[in-house]
């Protein structure tokens, strides 16, 4: 087995890559990393000095690939399967990458800002930053709801990189700032994502760790 994924089962960007791996039943060895363990943290830093996961190592090709979007493109290129994550058409490929970035930057990032603030000790909270993040999520929810009113997946009928990004982004965002009334399309889209076998498998594996996640109402 040439592929090893260094990850944590609760980390949302790791979910994004796991979805892609499970979509195509791509064989890989999972290496769960506990960042609180100094030895495991040091080993991850040796692979990727930024110290964030996921990181994919390909022993057959001698490659170490960080960053979730780049990992999925690497899999699509070197370990393709029935689900192709980047369309062959250049314009659709660009649109797919745009949606991938949208979910990462305008859903995932503000969600993580809110989560991070809930984990801060009293006296070190950032209410202004949290309200900015909530405003960004409200705008993003509206845009996604309008777009998904006539679509099954982010790019239409075919599951893609954009859906790999959307699944954990929307799942955790809905936990920290639930979709409001009038967002039926985005809620239905998340329902389809959660029912997708690849993401359902990811969520099942993450389930034992969900108690660590500060949901809406957490201090």
Residue 215: per-residue pLDDT: 64
Confirm if 9 and 30 have CB atoms less than 8 A apart: no
Residue 180: per-residue pLDDT: 85
Instruction: Give every residue of the chain whose pLDDT is below 70, as ranges.
Output: 1, 215-219
Architecture per CATH, domain 90-196, reads as Up-down Bundle (1.20)
**Tokens linked to 183:** 């967002």
- pTM of the entire structure? 0.94
**Tokens linked to 214:** 């500060």
Burial of 88 from C-beta contacts in 10 A (0-12 / 13-18 / 19+): exposed
- Quote the Cα angle for 68-28-193, to 5°: 50
Residue 216: per-residue pLDDT: 60
Q: Where do the structural domains in the chain lie, given as residue ranges?
A: 90-196
Residue 66: per-residue pLDDT: 97
């Amino acid at each position: 087995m040439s592929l090893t994924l260094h990850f944590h089962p609760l980390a949302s960007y790791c979910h994004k890559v796991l979805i892609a791996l499970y979509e195509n039943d791509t064989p890989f060895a999972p290496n769960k990393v506990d960042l609180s363990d100094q030895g495991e943290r040091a080993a991850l830093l040796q692979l990727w000095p930024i110290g964030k996961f996921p990181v994919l190592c390909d022993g057959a090709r001698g490659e170490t690939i960080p960053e979730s979007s780049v990992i999925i493109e690497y899999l699509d290129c070197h370990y393709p399967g029935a689900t192709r994550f980047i369309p062959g058409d250049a314009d659709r490929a660009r649109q797919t990458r745009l949606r991938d970035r949208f979910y990462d930057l305008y859903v995932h990032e503000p969600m993580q800002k809110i989560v991070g603030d809930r984990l801060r000790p009293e006296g070190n909270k950032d209410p202004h930053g949290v309200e900015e993040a909530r405003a960004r999520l409200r705008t993003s929810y509206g845009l996604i709801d309008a777009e998904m009113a006539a679509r099954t997946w982010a790019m239409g009928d075919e599951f893609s990189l954009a859906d790999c990004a959307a699944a954990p982004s929307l799942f955790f965002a809905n936990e920290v700032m639930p979709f409001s009334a009038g967002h039926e399309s985005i809620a239905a889209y998340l329902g389809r994502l959660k029912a997708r076998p690849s993401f359902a498998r990811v969520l099942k594996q993450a389930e034992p760790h969900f108690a660590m996640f500060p949901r809406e109402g957490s201090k």
